[in-house]
Structures are given as structure tokens and as C-alpha cells.
């Protein structure tokens, strides 16, 4: 209880430290003559895409019941615009070929959002396949069959012993060329295979943490090995492995930024492109980091919910 | 060759563990239909190992085991099929912690015997009533006491409608006040004519229920007799010593 007394004090200290770090960043940017232009950034989230409608011929404009008609002087067929949002001409105006008659605009997702979408898509597909690869390899890893076991060990050691960046290059330039994979498939496959190796080790540890008696009880009831695994061992093992799995999925989301090296326009690559056109690296990279943080923290929130639901039997 | 009265025939069973320990040295055992056999002996005498060889949880190195006319040592035998007929109750209960008491009991009939869920649940509730736990169907094992868990484990084994029940020290992990409730269930089973092989330290149970008591030591069967004779005139020195320690 002695500790509790000072809690408020230390919480204030925490807030002060955070504030001073923020101020430090701001001050540092002032020292290098950096001009913050947050307002420029919004267009990279969403922007208004304006399409102009131009007249292909010269003539007089006539506006009747929401239609713009251009009537040429020589009495040829008139040019009619039926759908538009904003008229740029008035009734009776004289227009020449190429003049803007009207415009319509659409709200479109900017590169930051499309990049975010690509990152989510890559991550979800990779997580899905990583789980399948990981669970199968994890079971093979503890199999009594030497071929299965050694294959699993070789795969795990190979993947864990080489950098992901190199694996992505190998997947894209070698395997991708041989099997005619597109960028997305190659990048996602590299991520899934990489994460699968780590999940395999997590699954192995999870299975081995289940007491031997569980398998014996299942087998003594007449279940075969696969039934025992499916109904008794795996449900318990997967529940135990949920926290380390979540950590691995979060790593995968972050590691997905590496696929930008094979020209997949994910969040990171979008960020780099925006920096080259805005010269506002601070704002862009802070925003990109924040978007990754939102992704990873919502994932860990989901996993926590799942954990709570599964802990009913504890 | 196959004796119709014998449901278990174990002939010259040898079991050597990978670390070189000889757990069973040419052990032979025969059990009749409806017979209750209690195996006693000091720890490390091989009595649990013998029990576990009877449903092949422990593969044997030599000898032959025939359960209800089917040889377990025959490579063509589907061991899973034999295990459906042999229920087993463990010292540590080994209930499935992620399932309720009811699900623990229904999982094997549903997955192995392909019984419909509703029918399996009906049987499970009857069995829970039989072991006195009808009100705990939706409880998880972690919410049950040791004695209750062991009774659910017995119900789980019974749900497969086995011809033989094996009990591996079913009361050894229980607090003393819970031993009685488990033994009571076992006594009921014995009275109903179930064939039972029980490894236990409960001499009272052996005396009251057993048709035959087997004393094992150092991987061998030393003496077999009716409980009355075995406890009254133990003629083997090791048995005398064991009984004097335990009684």
C-alpha cells in the first residue's frame, strides 16, 4: 500500500516525460528549419477527383431542364451533356472547341489509404496461409516419422536463419520467375512462409505443453491419433499459443513493409512516394507509423477478446 | 484355443522400457467375464504397466495379449477398435479441461461410435445421474473437486459401453474425504457385473469387492488368491512385508 501513495506522482512524471519528448521533437525540427505542413497531408488520405467535360465543337449554349446543349452555328447536330454536377457556362454563352462546359467530382481514396488497404490485404492473406503452414509444420515437427520431422526442422532452420528481405528477393526474382508469380503472390508467399516457420515452433511448444495424459485418455477412449489431435490436443494447444501467435501476427504486419522493395505499393511505399512529391517526410512518416500502430493495436485487441472468450473453462 | 469364459488373456508379457528397466518379466494373467481383479504391490512393481498393456497404451516387447478373443499383438488388429471396448480410468483423471462434464462424456461416443449428439447427451445425463453428478453437467473440470472429476472420468469411460474397465490407482490423487465417493461408484459397477481390473492401494475395497487379488513385485506376479485367503494367510515373505507396511 506504500507504493500506491506515490502512484499519482509517478503518473504525472510519465505525462511530463512524454510531453517533453514531444516538445523535443518539435524543437529539433525548428532547429533544422523544418516547416510543418500537416494540411498538405489530407489530400493523400482522400481527395476530390474532378473530371471536366469539354465541348468538342463551337456554338451557343442552351441550358434546359438540367441539360447543357451546345448548338453549332452551321446547324449540325447539337452536343448534349446530360449528367454533370456543376455547370461552368451560362445560358446563351458562346463556346469554342475545348472549352469546359461542366464538371463532376468524386471523393477518392488517396495513396495513404490505398497503401493501407494493400498492407491489410497482404497481411490477412499471409496470416491465413502462415497459420496453415505453421500448424502443419508444427505437427510434422513432433512426428515420429523421421522424414516428416527432418523436413520440418530443415524448413524452420532455413527460414529462421536467413533475413526476410533476402527471402522476399528470392521469392520474387527466383521462385517468382520460375513459377510466373506476380508481385503480390510472391510477396505474400514470402511473408507466409517466413511467419509459418515461427508459428510452427509456437505450435510445437503448445502441443508439447499439453500433458501426456490427455493423449492417453483420448486414445483409451478409442479415438485415433487424428481425432485426438483434432478434438482434444489442438484446441487446448491453440488456446495456450494465442498470445505468442498474436505477437507473430503483429510482427507480420510490420514486416509486410519490406515487400515494398519488390514494388508492391503498400503503406510504406505509398509513404515514400508521397515524401518525394511533398518534401514533408516528418508528417508522412509519422502518419504512416500511426496507421501501422492502429492496425497492430486493433489486432491485439481482437486477440484479447478471443482469449477472454476461450478462458471460460479456466 | 480361445476360451470363451476368459475376456482377458495375457501370456508371458515382457515389457522393457527404453532405459533398460524391466517392468514386466513374463507376466501371465487371465480374467473371466464379470470378474473383479485387484492388483496390489509396492510402487515400481509393474502393476500400472501391466494394466496399461491391457489396452496397449504401453506396447509390449514379447508375449501375447488377447482381449475378448482379439489378439492385440496381431499386427492386423485395429487397436482403436479394441480400445472402444476397454474403458480406462486414470490416477490423474485426465479429463479434457476445455470441455464441460457433459462434453467430456459425449465426445468419444460422437466421434468414435458415431452416435447422434442428442442420443449421446441422453446417455451422458443418465451416466452423470449414476455417478451422482447430474447437476454438474455444464461444469468445467476446473470447477469440480477431485472426487467429482474422477466420477466424471468414470462416466466418460462408461459412455463407450465398454466390456472391461481398467482402473489405474483411481483414488491415489484424491484427498482422503473424496476417496469414498469414487469407491462407491466402483462398487456399484462391480455389483452390476462389469469386468474390472483395478490397481489400487485401497485394501478395504479389495477385501470387499474383489473376486481375486494379485500381488505384484519387481515385475512379477508373486501371489494370486481370493482376498479372504490372501489377506488372512499371506504365505509369501514379500507380501507379508508389504501388507504389514500398508495395513
Tell me the per-residue pLDDT of A108-133, one tens digit each, with 9 for 90 and over: 888 899 999 999 999 999 999 999 99
B156 part of contact set with chain A, CB < 8 Å: yes
The verdict on a CB contact (< 8 Å) between A223 and B140 is no
For the beta sheet containing A94-95, the strands, ordered from the edge strand earlier in sequence to the opposite edge, are A79-81, A67-71, A59-64, A94-95
Mutate: best of B87, B88, B96, partner A, most A CBs <10 A: B96
Test A217 with B88 for CB contact under 8 angstroms: yes
- Select the residue of B81, B141, B160 nearest A221 (Cβ to Cβ): B160
Q: Residue B1: which pLDDT band, with cuts at 50, 70 and 90? A: very low
Distance CA B247, CA A38 (A): 86
> Alpha-carbon distance A166 to A111, whole Å?
27
pLDDT at position B44 is: 87
Q: Nearest chain B Cα to A309, which residue?
A: B98
Can you give the pLDDT at residue A280? Answer: 85
Adjacent-strand bridge partners of B15: B24
- Residues in chain A with CB shorter than 8 Å from the CB of B83 are 219-222
Of all residues in chain A, what percent carry a pLDDT higher than 90?
61
Percentage of chain A modeled with pLDDT above 70: 99
Give whole-number Cα distances, B61 to A129, B55, B158, in Å: 43, 15, 30
Work out the pLDDT band at A272, boundaries 50, 70, 90.
very high
Question: Do A252 and A191 form a contact (C-beta atoms < 8 A)?
Answer: yes
d(CA A66, CA A91): 11
Q: Does the pLDDT of residue A292 top 80, yes or no? A: yes
pLDDT in tens, A64-114: 878 888 888 777 788 888 888 888 888 888 888 888 888 888 888 888 999
CA A129 to chain centre: 16
Average the pLDDT over each of A36-50, B69-83, B172-186 and give the range with the smallest value: A36-50
Task: Say yes or no for a CB contact (<8 Å) between B112 and A222.
Answer: yes
Percent of chain B with pLDDT over 70: 98
Residue B214 pLDDT:
94
Considering only CB atoms, which chain A residues are within 8 Å of B78?
none
Q: Is the pLDDT assigned to residue A198 strictly greater than 70? A: yes
- What average pLDDT does the segment A208-235 reach? 94
Predicted local confidence at residue A293, as pLDDT: 96
Contacts of A55 (CB under 8 A, 6+ apart): A70, A79, A95, A96, A97, A98, A99, A101
Q: Which is more confidently placed, A216 or A50?
A: A216
What is the pLDDT at residue A109? Answer: 87
Cell readout for B233 is 494367510
Residue B44: count other Cβ atoms within 10 Å of its Cβ: 13
Task: Please name the member of A214, A222, A236 whose beta carbon is closest to the beta carbon of B80.
Answer: A222
Q: So what's the pLDDT on residue A2?
A: 59
- pLDDT, residue B156, reads 96
More confident position, B5 or B30:
B30
**In what order do the strands lie in the sheet containing B70-71?**
B22-32, B6-16, B62-67, B70-71
pTM, two decimal places: 0.79
Q: Please report which confidence band the pLDDT of residue A152 belongs to, taking 50, 70 and 90 as the band edges.
A: very high
What's the average model confidence in pLDDT over B87-114?
A: 95
Instruction: Please give the pLDDT value at position B236.
Output: 86
Q: Which residues neighbour A12 within 8 Å (Cβ) at sequence distance 6 or greater?
A: none
Across B209-238, average pLDDT: 91
The most confident of the ranges A36-40, B74-78, B160-164 is B160-164
B142:A220 CB<8 A? no
pLDDT tops 60 at residue B3: no
Length of chain A: 314
Q: Does A233 touch chain B (CB under 8 A)?
A: no
A91 in B contact zone (CB under 8 Å): no
Does the pLDDT of residue A258 top 70, yes or no?
Answer: yes
Residues 6 or more apart from B15 whose CB is under 8 A from it? B22, B23, B24, B46, B49, B53, B58, B60, B61, B219
pLDDT at A204 over 90: yes
A128 Cβ neighbours under 8 A, 6+ residues apart:
A192
CB contact under 8 A, A239 and B57: no
Q: Is A98 on the interface with B (CB under 8 A)?
A: no
Mind listing the pLDDT tens digit for each residue in A22-66? 999 888 888 888 888 888 888 888 888 888 888 888 888 888 878
Within 10 Å of residue A21's Cβ, how many Cβ atoms?
A: 10
Q: For chain A, what is the radius of gyration of the CA atoms?
A: 30
pLDDT at B4: 61
Inform me whether the C-beta atom of residue B77 falls under 8 Å from chain A C-beta atoms. Answer: no
pLDDT of res. A1: 53
Amino acid at each position: 500500500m506504500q507504493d500506491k501513495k506515490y502512484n499519482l506522482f509517478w503518473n504525472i512524471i510519465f505525462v511530463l516525460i512524454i510531453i517533453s519528448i514531444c516538445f523535443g521533437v518539435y524543437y529539433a525540427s525548428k532547429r533544422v528549419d523544418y516547416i510543418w505542413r500537416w494540411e498538405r497531408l489530407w489530400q493523400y488520405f482522400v481527395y476530390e477527383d474532378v473530371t471536366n467535360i469539354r465541348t468538342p465543337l463551337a456554338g451557343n449554349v442552351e441550358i434546359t431542364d438540367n441539360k447543357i446543349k451546345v448548338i453549332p452555328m452551321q446547324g449540325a447536330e447539337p452536343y448534349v451533356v446530360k449528367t454533370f454536377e456543376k455547370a461552368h457556362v451560362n445560358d446563351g454563352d458562346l463556346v469554342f472547341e475545348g472549352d469546359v462546359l461542366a464538371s463532376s467530382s468524386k471523393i477518392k481514396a488517396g495513396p495513404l489509404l490505398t497503401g493501407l488497404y494493400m498492407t491489410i490485404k497482404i497481411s490477412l492473406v499471409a496470416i491465413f496461409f502462415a497459420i496453415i503452414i505453421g500448424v502443419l509444420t508444427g505437427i510434422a515437427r513432433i512426428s515420429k516419422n523421421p522424414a516428416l520431422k527432418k523436413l520440418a526442422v530443415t524448413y524452420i532452420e532455413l527460414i529462421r536463419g536467413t533475413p526476410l528481405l533476402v527471402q522476399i528477393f528470392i521469392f520474387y526474382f527466383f521462385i517468382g520467375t520460375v513459377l510466373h508469380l506476380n508481385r503480390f503472390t510472391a510477396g505474400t508467399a514470402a511473408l507466409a512462409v517466413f511467419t509459418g516457420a515461427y508459428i510452427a515452433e509456437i505450435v510445437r511448444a503448445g502441443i508439447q505443453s499439453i500433458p501426456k495424459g490427455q493423449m492417453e485418455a483420448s486414445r483409451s477412449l478409442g479415438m485415433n491419433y487424428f481425432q485426438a489431435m483434432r478434438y482434444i490436443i489442438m484446441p487446448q494447444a491453440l488456446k495456450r499459443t494465442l498470445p505468442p501467435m498474436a505477437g507473430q501476427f503483429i510482427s507480420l504486419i510490420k514486416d509486410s513493409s519490406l515487400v515494398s522493395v519488390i514494388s508492391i505499393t503498400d503503406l510504406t511505399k505509398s509513404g515514400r512516394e508521397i515524401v518525394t512529391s511533398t518534401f514533408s517526410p516528418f508528417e508522412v512518416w509519422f502518419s504512416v507509423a500511426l496507421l501501422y500502430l492502429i492496425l497492430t493495436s486493433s489486432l491485439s485487441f481482437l486477440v484479447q477478446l478471443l482469449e477472454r472468450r476461450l478462458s471460460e473453462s479456466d | 484355443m480361445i476360451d470363451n469364459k476368459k475376456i482377458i488373456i495375457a501370456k508371458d508379457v515382457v515389457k522393457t522400457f527404453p532405459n533398460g528397466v524391466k517392468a514386466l518379466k513374463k507376466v501371465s494373467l487371465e480374467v473371466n467375464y464379470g470378474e473383479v481383479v485387484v492388483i496390489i504391490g509396492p510402487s515400481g512393481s509393474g502393476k500400472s504397466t501391466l494394466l496399461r498393456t491391457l489396452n496397449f497404451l504401453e506396447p509390449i516387447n514379447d508375449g501375447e495379449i488377447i482381449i475378448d478373443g482379439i489378439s492385440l499383438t496381431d499386427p492386423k488388429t485395429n487397436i482403436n477398435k479394441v480400445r472402444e471396448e476397454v474403458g480406462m480410468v486414470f490416477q490423474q483423471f485426465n479429463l479434457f479441461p476445455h470441455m464441460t462434464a457433459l462434453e467430456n462424456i459425449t465426445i468419444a461416443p460422437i466421434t468414435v461410435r458415431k452416435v447422434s449428439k442428442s442420443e449421446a447427451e441422453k446417455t451422458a445425463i443418465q451416466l452423470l445421474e449414476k455417478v451422482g453428478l447430474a447437476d454438474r453437467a455444464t461444469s468445467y473440470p476446473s470447477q469440480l473437486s477431485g472426487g467429482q472429476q474422477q466420477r466424471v472420468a468414470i462416466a466418460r469411460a462408461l459412455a463407450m459401453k465398454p466390456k472391461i474397465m481398467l482402473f489405474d490407482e483411481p483414488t491415489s490423487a484424491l484427498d482422503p474425504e473424496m476417496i469414498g465417493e469414487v469407491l462407491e461408484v466402483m462398487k456399484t459397477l462391480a455389483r452390476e457385473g462389469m469386468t474390472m481390473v483395478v490397481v489400487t492401494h485401497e485394501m478395504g475395497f479389495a477385501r470387499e469387492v474383489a473376486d481375486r487379488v494379485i500381488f505384484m513385485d519387481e515385475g512379477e506376479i508373486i501371489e494370486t488368491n481370493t482376498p479372504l485367503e490372501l489377506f488372512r494367510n499371506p504365505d509369501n515373505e514379500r507380501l507379508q512385508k508389504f501388507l504389514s507396511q500398508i495395513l
